Amino acid sequence: MFSVSLGGGAELRPLEPWQVEEFLAHMDRARAVVDPWIPWAGVSTDVDSARATLQRYADLRARDAGRLFGIWAGGTLVGGTMFVSFDAEAGNAEIGVWLEPAGQGRGLVTKAARVLIDYAFTTRGLRRVEWHCRTDNAASSAVARRLGMRLDGVLRQSYLYKGVRHDTEIWSLLATDTLEVAPG
């Protein structure tokens, strides 16, 4: 099976529909802190809806248009990262991440995102990787900075969450950018 060590007993692996029970248990632990930032967290609330989320990413993977990976620490699913979108022809991708409280503070999302960025640029030859986050998600903006991304701009009121519109930051990293990132 494919896995990438993230150090300290943590690893990055594909997250697939057959893992729905583990994914749902993780979402139940993570939902309160993830839901405001990840659109599908609040709708993955039972086996059928969680399976639909995982199947959507499996279908994207089959079309080479997206992917979903889990982050396991000590054998427990604690978060993940994904290609929200992946367009090899245009040379662009968007990555996203999430983490439940038990996985926080160890640099896991930064390490996992670096794996996806390296794959996008080195293996697949993409030119641009984007990172989208709400302007009030300081933790997500901090990860983008650690990855060496640049803030391209803000899309005003572009993200609807529970009836309230929020601004979205768009960060990017180009294959031609010099990576000057902090370790970890």
| Pairing of the two strands 10-14 and 150-161 | unpaired
| Pairing of the two strands 128-134 and 92-99 | parallel
Residue 147: domain span: 4-174
- Asked if the structure places residue 179 within a domain, the reply is no
Residue 73 pLDDT > 90: yes
pLDDT the model gives residue 181: 45
- Asked if the structure places residue 183 within a domain, the reply is no
- Asked if the structure places residue 88 within a domain, the reply is yes
Quickly state the pLDDT bin for 178 (edges 50, 70, 90).
Answer: low
Residue 46 pLDDT > 50: yes
User: How would you classify residue 41: left for phi > 0, otherwise alpha for psi between -120 and 50, otherwise beta?
Assistant: alpha
* Amino acid type, 77: L
Order of all β-strands in the sheet with 164-174: 4-7, 10-14, 67-73, 76-87, 92-99, 128-134, 164-174, 150-161
Mean pLDDT score of the chain: 93
CATH code at 72? 3.40.630.30
For the chain, count helices (H), then strands (E).
4, 8
Give the count of beta carbons closer than 10 Å to the beta carbon of residue 148: 16
- Asked if the structure places residue 134 within a domain, the reply is yes
Read off the pLDDT of residues 118-142 as tens digits, 9 standing for 90 and up: 999 999 999 999 999 999 999 999 9
Q: Is the full-model pTM beyond 0.75?
A: yes
- For range 164-178, the mean pLDDT: 93
- Asked if the structure places residue 182 within a domain, the reply is no
